[in-house]
Structure 1
Amino acid sequence: MAEDAVRILFLVVLALWTTQLPSADGAFYRRRPESKVVLEGEDASLSCSFNDLSSDDVVNWQGPPGETIISAGRKISVLYGRRHSIVGDASQGEYNLHIRGAQVEDSGDYRCSTPSVRAAADVTLTVVVPMVGPPDITGAELPLTAGDELLLRCRSRGGFPPPRLTWYNGTHRFGSEDTAGDDEGGSVTLELFTARVSKWDDGANFTCVADQGFPDIVRPRAASRILRVDYPPTVSVPSPSVHAREGQSVNLTCYVDSNPKATVTWRKLGDRLPRDSIQRERSLQIVKVSKYDSGVYQCEADNRILPVGVGSIRLEVFYPPSIDSTLSDKASVMYGHNDFSLNCFADGNPKPNIRWRRKDTSLYWENPLRFHRVRYDVEGTYQCVATSDGFPVVKKEVEIDVLGKPQVEAASPQVSTNQGDVARFYCDVIGDPLPEKVTWLWRNKNGVESVLLETNNGISITEKIVGKMKTATLSIDHVTSDDEGIYICKAANIFSSDQREIRLTVKESRTSIIAIISVSVAVIVMATVSVIGVFVAKRKGWICADEKHATPALSPIRSVPPLPKYGRKPGHGTNDSGVEDLEMQEMDGTLKPRPPPRLDKDWTSIGLSYPRLAHSNTLPPYSTVERQRPDGQDPRLSACIQEEDSIPVVVQVEPPAPPPKDKKRRWKRRGGDSAGHVPQPGGNSASHVHQQGGNSGVRNHHQADNVLNEIQAESL
């Protein structure tokens, strides 16, 4: 926006500067003439001045009529000599045209020019003659009727230049601005035409404005016409629907719009007006409404102009619900009847919501009350409940009486009891009429049925009536497994019979079961404690501490390797007695590292024959018991081997078999006798372990295994 304004300002300055710029050929305008508007009889002055006029330049004025020369220099033509003159300082190039007492014939275009100025300046002088008075309006002098056409004519009263006429409806322009000239007095005329008027045109102010176009010189003149239109009644109601409670007072009102005023009457469609109703022109008052006053009321307005106006109001009266008296107080139905229903009718406004409820409960059902299959549990008192907003609840009770065969229900289909206890069976019997007696039957394991009576030993039967239900109880004392079977509760009346089966299961006594469980738990606990005690004693070496026999202290040169397959007993290091061998078990594990293999000898040449073995005392014995010895004990002595100064030991070992491919598989010994013999491939004992001093040898498998392991370690 700012850039556009600067650009426009620059162009205007450039144009003015160009206009005032002196030409290379001669003079130029210092002040151009300007158009003028004056009232008739006033003086008019048209300005014109130049710069750089030469002595040869002559300033001329031309004007009406046509382009007649008015002056040359300062000389005025004889035709304009009385009222026209040239004023201003000629030495300054001022040649202003002055007209005294301007007349209408002085209006027109004027030109101020000189031969040395190429573009001559033209101006206009307007001499205004005011209008004599406001324009005249003709038409619609009498009231019109809605639907008639409207023609108004506006005619100006003199004035020069001729005024422009415009119609306004209130403050809004209405119609066109075309005018027609009139030869008499120079007046103009403008018509307003409407093909059809309506009630909305009643009171409309149509105004004709005459404007000569120079509000600063002469103000516009105007004339108005207020339109009167008669129209038929139009009825409107503030509320097409009126609601009232029964007993209240009600006013029904209609608003009527008509010209002239209409007469209003009231009527009720399809019925007469209430007796206590009062008509007051546009309103109808009903002092005390009842439910019979509901309906449609109409007000009619008539002013002798068709059509007659009609308005409708619907009156709705609210009244409390009421249940139809035809509903019976009691209904009898047969047991097992299908699709039995009770329907309840109730009147009220608003329309009541009808539901059924069982008395003294919160159980509700929709209306009508339907029973797909009638049983005794549906018997009782039901209430038809009708509710409407704003009114108290209305109820009516209906008693449903169910007739038919009995219905037997057992408390449980199966009874379980301990041997020697009392077994009780319960069943409830419902029927109308109620059976006189309940029969108990027993079907044993073989399918034979028999009737149970109180005369039987240990059997008691009781019956109790509560309302319309009978409860029967069967009790059997000191039940045994022979009493197991099916117990049948059976009842009958005049219509039919029904029965229920209850299975009896007899369990063993709880005392025997508890005793067996207690003994079993005690045995398991004692066995567990014994195993743990043996295990701990063998770990601590307490079992072998009492033995006084000495064994040679063997000092292996190297770490003991894992026991070869041919030097171990089957069973992963367990004795024949079943007690786990702790020392052999540790050798199966990772407590004793396996020595690296001898790469310089073939595996089949290691430990085949050892006729003699000298025992060195440089290394301590290598066994599990020795690692757990008490402080200060001779490391060469085993807790389970007797001491000897020198013990010659001869061991012959068969060549070991190739190692198994499956490394996860444990090595197994091929077996040995209790004296420590190691069988040879032929099946005979090849070597024995001898001890000096009259000892019988290694006394248990632990000692034999330790000796064998140390011999193998020494051989490797």
Structure 2
Amino acid sequence: MAAGCQIRLECFLLSTLLTVHVANGATYSSRPAPTAVVSGKTAILECGFDGLAEDETVIWQGPDYRVISYNRNVLKFYKRYVIVGDTSRGEYSLQISDARLEDDGKYSCYIDPAATADAILTVVVPMSGPPTIAGGELTATAGEQLSLTCRASGGHPAARLTWLNGTRPFRSAVVENKEDQTLELFLPRLTKWDDGANFTCLADQGFPQLARTKATSRVLRVKYPPVVQVPSPSVHVREGEPASLSCMVDSNPKSTVTWRKIGDNLPPIKMFRDNVLQFPRVSKRDGGLYQCEADNGLPPAGIGTLTLHVYYPPGIEGPAEDEVTMLYGQDDQSVHCVVTGNPKPHIRWRRKDTSLYWGNPLRFHRVRYDVQGTYQCVAASDGFREVTRDVFIDVVGKPAIGNGPTTVAVVDGGTARLHCEILGDPLPGRVTWFWRNNKGVENVVMTTHYGLSIIEKPTNDGTSSTVLLKDVGISEEGTYVCQAANMFGEARREIRLEVTGTPGSLVVIVISMATAALGLVGAVIVCVAVKKRWICGEQKHDTSTLSSTRSMPPVPKSVKRLGHGTNDSGVEDLELQELDGTLKPRPPPRAGKEWTSVGLSYTGLAQVNALPPYATVERHRPDGQDIRSRDDIPEEAAMDTEYTEHLAMEAPTPPPKDNLGRWRARAPPGGLSVRSSMHEAENDLNETEAENI
């Protein structure tokens, strides 16, 4: 009955208002604004006009176009509604007490139905509880699918649902159903990165100041196989220091870690701690490739690889022997040095106590006796001291005869020296000499003949054998063969002996040349003396007063002026009063081996012992200059007939040669023993060597 009256009243008021004149000058001073109110609270919808005429009517209209009031009059049906404000100022606000869901809707305030101001009143009824999550298991395995459903119930307005991953909303795989307030989350493939994800379902009614946003969260647990990471794939440490090898394992559930050494067993001294393999003190044997394996029951197992580099000083392990024997004459022989160390050592060979270096292995392209000796293998590494090992190279084999002159030329009547240097290991028991004459007949050289001796002496590297021939004649000319042999074989060397000229002819030539030279010098001296009136002048010297203690020697080709150091100053250098010392010929050259090669004999001189030996004169004065005083110089007149006889004297004839063959097995004359002959030969050899020097 009441509802029908209400409807009829509204129709009446509406028809009446349509006939009311509306002033064109009224405007809104405040329009109704959207308002939200919690159920049971009071809501006010504002509305006001400026320039409102007295005959104008302000109408409030509610949801479904129902009229609520006109001016200040509210229909009796709306007992919780009232018009508030100063009407004299045109204020006609609508106040709703104890707001209910039936009050929710659109409200309009106007004086002209053609120009209305609308506002939405929202009555908020908070949800009784948070949303719920249903669907798949929250503990899944990597590679599987995941489907979750979030459902909200109760409340007004209906809550908007959102899935969050932590604090970030999911933009994909979201299906929303507003009718039953559900929201589904779908993940087609889970990965290990989803493990620990915080999936949150958020329910928001849109008015957080009136109804607090509610949420439900779940943490996703994803099981996945282990993943191994190696922080330091290569670890470097010196021998004797501690070391640690570590692997980082990511898995769910937790994995068991197992360590192994590739190609070897784990060192006995080790410790495990939180996936770390520890070595309190490493040795060079601990170096190598290590592997850590993590397993949690989900395939595949995780594997990490690490390399432990242990630095240690070089150590020489080979060659196995300290002495290596090689055969003389072999080709391409080598000795290899085996060295361990880290970093890799630099290996070289050197001859001990020298700076001669070779590579490794030490190679000999052809083995000779001169390569015998001690060699050192030298190994050096950065950061460590170098180490060495001595190896003695012992060369054995047949003898080797050193190089030397293949031809020896000796003047007839001189002394010949034929020499061989023999190397070998073992050394030959004896050295044999053969003589091959010009007809090709070969005989053994023996020491049974006077004037021939064979001298053998040890040397630093072997032995030497020397044949010494005194008073050589043309019959000794030929080829001499030095032969040495041991258990490995024999070696031979040939030396050709050539005998040239005769000592007598050489002496005659030398004396003739000396006589001519002295005569020329004497003539020059006489001419100068006559010119200077030293002779044939008014004052003549008494030659009978000159000393005749010794004969006057021949005048040399050139003399030195006193106080000068040259012999090419001119003719004035020959003046007798300026000569320094006793005139005499120059001494023979040192190259002469026999007394007959000198060319002059001093046997005819008086008081020969008064003259110093040539060696002394040559040692004290250059060019054989005499050291006697100026007062001993005789005048020209003192050259008597004894001087002339001396110039005409010939060299003595050398002693006759013994023409007996040297190769006959006979003792030396006079019963000279072999031992005394060897002793005499050694003295002769020493004299010969001294003269050669």
Length-normalised TM-score, structure 2:
0.49
Judging by fraction of residues, say which structure has more helix. Answer: 2
